[in-house]
Amino acid sequence: MSHDSSPSPPEVPDRRPLIAFTWLWVGAPLAYGLYELVRKATQLFTG
Amino acid sequence: MSPPVAPPGWSRWLVPPAALSVHLSIGQAYAWSVFKPPLESALGLSGTQSALPFQLGIVMLGLSAAFGGTLVERNGPRWAMTVALVCFSSGFLLSALGAAVEQYWLIVLGYGFVGGIGLGIGYISPVSTLIKWFPDRPGMATGIAIMGFGGGALIASPWSAQMLESFGTDSSGIALAFLVHGLAYAVFMLLGVLLVRVPRPKERADGTAAPLEGVQVSARDALRTPQFWLLWVVLCMNVTAGIGILEKAAPMITDFFADTSTPVSVTAAAGFVALLSAANMAGRIGWSSTSDLIGRKNIYRVYLGVGALMYALIALFGDSSKPLFVLCALVVLSFYGGGFATIPAYLKDLFGTYQVGAIHGRLLTAWSTAGVLGPLIVNWIADRQEEAGRHGSALYGTSFVIMIGLLVVGFVANELVRPVHPRHHRPTPEAPKEAADVPRQQPESA
pLDDT in tens, B369-389: 888 788 888 878 888 888 888
Q: What is the mean pLDDT of chain B?
A: 88
Contacts (Cβ under 8 Å, ≥6 apart) of B221: B424, B426
* pLDDT 10s digits, B201-216: 776 566 666 666 778 8
Q: What is the pLDDT of residue A11?
A: 76
Is A31's Cβ below 8 Å from some Cβ in B?
no
Q: Across the interface, do A22 and B158 touch by the CB < 8 Å criterion?
A: no
B154, A15: Cβ pair inside 8 Å?
no
Topology match between the domains B12-195 and B219-424: yes
pLDDT tens digits along A1-41: 445 556 666 677 888 999 999 999 999 999 999 999 888 88
Show Cβ contacts of residue B166 under 8 Å, excluding neighbours closer than 6 positions.
Answer: none
pLDDT of res. B429: 58
Q: Do the chains contact at B195 and A44, CB–CB below 8 Å? A: no
CA pair distance B56, B334, nearest whole angstrom? 27
Is it the case that residue B182 has pLDDT exceeding 60? yes
Our measurement of the distance from residue B276's CA atom to the centroid of its chain's CA atoms, rounded to an integer in Å, reads 15
Query: Phi-psi region for residue B24, left (φ > 0), alpha (ψ -120 to 50) or beta?
Result: alpha
| Residue-level pLDDT at B100 | 96
Whether chain B has a CB inside 8 Å of the CB on A28: the answer is no
In this complex, do B155 and A12 lie within 8 Å of one another by their Cβ atoms?
no
Amino acid at B418: R
Tally: H helices and E strands in chain B: 19, 0
Domain boundaries, chain B: 12-195, 219-424
What residues of B are in contact with residue A34 (Cβ under 8 Å)? 151, 154, 278
Q: What are the tens digits of pLDDT across the range B218-263?
A: 999 999 999 999 999 999 999 998 887 877 788 888 888 887 887 8
Contact B311, B400 (CB under 8 A): yes
Query: Which residues in B lie closer than 8 A to residue A29 (C-beta atoms)?
Result: 24, 155, 188
Instruction: Write the residue in A19, A29, A41 that is nearest to B275 by C-beta.
Output: A41
Handedness of CA B352, B356, B359, B365 (dihedral sign): positive
With CA atoms as reference, the chain A residue closest to B161 would be A36
Contact at CB, B24 and A19, closer than 8 angstroms: no
Helix axes B266-294, B138-167, angle to 10 degrees: 160
Mean pLDDT of B171-176: 96
> Which tens digits make up the pLDDT trace of B289-323?
999 999 999 999 999 999 999 999 998 987 788 88
Average pLDDT over residues B339-364: 93
**Residues B118-149: tens digit of each pLDDT:** 999 999 999 989 999 999 999 999 999 999 99
Q: Is A23 exposed, middle or buried (0-12, 13-18, 19+ CB in 10 A)?
A: middle
Interface with chain B: mutation pick from A16, A37, A45, highest number of B CBs within 10 Å:
A37
**What confidence score (pLDDT) does residue B258 get?**
83
Architecture field, domain B12-195? Up-down Bundle (1.20)
Is pLDDT at B340 greater than 50 in this prediction? yes
| ipTM score assigned to the predicted complex | 0.83
Cβ distance B9 to A15 less than 8 Å, yes or no, reads: yes
Domain range B219-424, CATH architecture: Up-down Bundle (1.20)
Residue of A nearest to B18 (CA): A22
CB contact under 8 A, A36 and B267: no
Inform me whether the C-beta atom of residue A30 falls under 8 Å from chain B C-beta atoms. Answer: yes
Chain A residue nearest residue B148, CA to CA = A30
